[in-house]
Amino acid sequence: MTVSHAIERAALAAGEDGPMAVVALFQRMPYLDREREVYERIARRASVTVMGLVGGDPAVHQPAGTVLVPLSSRDPLAREWTVVVLTPRFGAVLVAYDQETVDATAETLEAGRLFDGRWSVRRDDALHELLRLRRALADRLPAATAAALDDVVTRVREMPATSGESRADAMFHHMVVRGGRGATSRPVTEPRFATGEEVRDWSGGVTASGVLPVAMLGVRVPAAHRLPAQAGRRTAAVRDESMLTMLGDLAGAAGRVTRVGEDEFLLLVPGLADDDAVQLAYRVGAELAEAATHNAFLPATATVAVTVTRRRPLPAEDIRQALRWAVAENIPVAKVDEPAGD
């Protein structure tokens, strides 16, 4: 975020070094919307400004003065958070690839998203990235836009890079790295229990549908009154505490566990693949059966509904409905497929 904003500010700075080309990939619409005004200002200074994201309709979503290129969700460019600014005398670039996982210490899903990235304020590095994107978008660019990009590239190649770029690049990297060390996050505690409101805060914000898979496991256990009554009125409370501890261990440091009904729990694990999520669902049943042999307050069986979703907000009610269906059909583990197009 710091690097991308710094590069955008450089594009907005006054300079007698035109023409300027700007290319940015935003992944999904919410990330473009929060920068829309900035890029409309950039477009007024640049010779050509190209933006790419999944789900964008140029007739509706294109910021004034820019060229919006719709991307398929299967396009490798859809996983990039990229900003390139290039003029004959200046270049800056950020290229970051979405790892589709999160930092376990982050307060929210959005704040914890992890990218594998590189950045530079060397003009020739920006030139190489612009050429890469120009090739990748070749058949999707209007002819006038392609010609404008080519014009900037030609002008850049006509001029040698300045001798001070390596010093500016070293200073930029030092400032970014030092600034990153000042970031704070909440200490990790295991297991990560959460109220329903805390789960909504954790998964909300500007996180867009489509960018980060989250495994959702709904777990239904037998009603507490069917369990041994040694603890009297404390039976349900002890059962819930034992369930949350067991599910929290399965969720790991990056996950969340919450109670969503009298006998229902929701387990959330970001960055998990479909097959791994199904395996985790079966582990819930197996570990519950094992734990029940030495904890009389834990039931020996459970019903689990599992899905991996990229939808926001998280479809918690869909999981609960699937869980009720699985209980009625006596199915121990039910896999819920993500609706087509999500």
Same domain, 331 and 259: yes
| Structural domain range at position 304 | 196-335
Among 139-148, 241-250, 307-316, the range scoring the smallest mean pLDDT is 241-250
Rounded Cα distance between 193 and 257, Å, is 5
Whole-number percent of the chain with pLDDT over 90: 50
Question: Per the domain annotation, does 342 fall within a domain?
Answer: no
Residue at a domain's end among 133, 151, 181: 181
The runs of H, that is alpha helices, within 139-189 are 143-157, 165-181
Residues 210 and 274 in one domain: yes
Q: What's the rounded Cα separation, in Å, for the pair 168 and 81?
A: 23
Question: Do 320 and 260 form a contact (C-beta atoms < 8 A)?
Answer: yes
Residue 226 has pLDDT above 90, yes or no: no
Tokens of 30: 């919410």
User: How many distinct structural domains can be found in the chain?
Assistant: 2
Confidence of residue 187 (pLDDT cuts 50, 70, 90): very low
* pLDDT tier for residue 36 given thresholds of 50, 70 and 90: very high
7 and 138 share one domain? yes
The length of the chain, given as a count of residues:
342
Domain membership flag for residue 205: yes
Give the type of residue at 72.
Answer: S
pLDDT-based confidence at 182, cuts 50/70/90?
A: very low
Helix axes 36-45, 2-12, angle to 10 degrees: 40
Question: Taking the C-alpha atoms of 59, 62, 67 and 69 in order, what is their torsion angle to the nearest 10 degrees?
Answer: -80
Residue 132 and residue 49 share a domain = yes
What's residue 188's pLDDT?
Answer: 42
Instruction: Tell me, yes or no, whether 11 and 131 share the same domain.
Output: yes
Task: Decide if 260 is inside a domain.
Answer: yes
Same domain, 134 and 10: yes
Specify the CATH number for the domain of residue 150: 3.30.870
Q: Assess if residue 191 is contained within a domain.
A: no
The residue written with tokens 């003029």 in the block is 87
Does 246 lie in the same domain as 115?
no
Does the residue 10 lie in any domain? yes
For residue 188, is it within any domain? no
9 domain residue, yes or no: yes
pLDDT > 60? residue 230: no
Residue 185 has pLDDT above 60, yes or no: no
Of 150, 181, 212, the one marking the end of a domain is: 181
Q: How far apart are CA 288 and CA 298, in angstroms?
A: 7
Whether residue 141 is found in the same domain as residue 9: yes
Q: Does the pLDDT at position 167 exceed 60?
A: yes
Going by pLDDT thresholds of 50, 70 and 90, the confidence category of residue 128 is: very high
How are strands ordered across the β-sheet holding 264-270? 256-261, 264-270, 214-220, 303-309, 333-335
10-30 burial, b at 16+ Cβ within 10 Å, e below that, comes to bbeeeeeeebbbbbbbbbbbb
On average, the pLDDT of the chain sits at 85
The number of C-alpha atoms within 13 Å of 4 and in the hemisphere containing its C-beta is 19
Tokens 């834990």, residue located: 298
Looking up residue 309, the CATH number of its domain turns out to be 3.30.70.270
Q: pTM (2 decimals)?
A: 0.79
Q: Are residues 318 and 238 in the same domain?
A: yes
| Residues 153 and 242 grouped into a single domain | no
In one letter, which amino acid is 157? Answer: R
Predicted local confidence at residue 179, as pLDDT? 62
**Sign of the CA dihedral running 55, 60, 65, 67:** positive
The answer to the question of residue 234 being in a domain is yes
Same domain as 259, residue 155? no
Structure confidence at residue 328 (pLDDT): 93
**The last residue of a domain, from among 125, 150, 181:** 181
Task: Output the CA–CA distances (angstroms, integers) from residue 227 to 222, 263, 266, 288, 294, in the order listed.
Answer: 8, 12, 21, 14, 14
Specify whether 21 is located in the same domain as 94: yes
End-to-end CA distance of the chain: 26
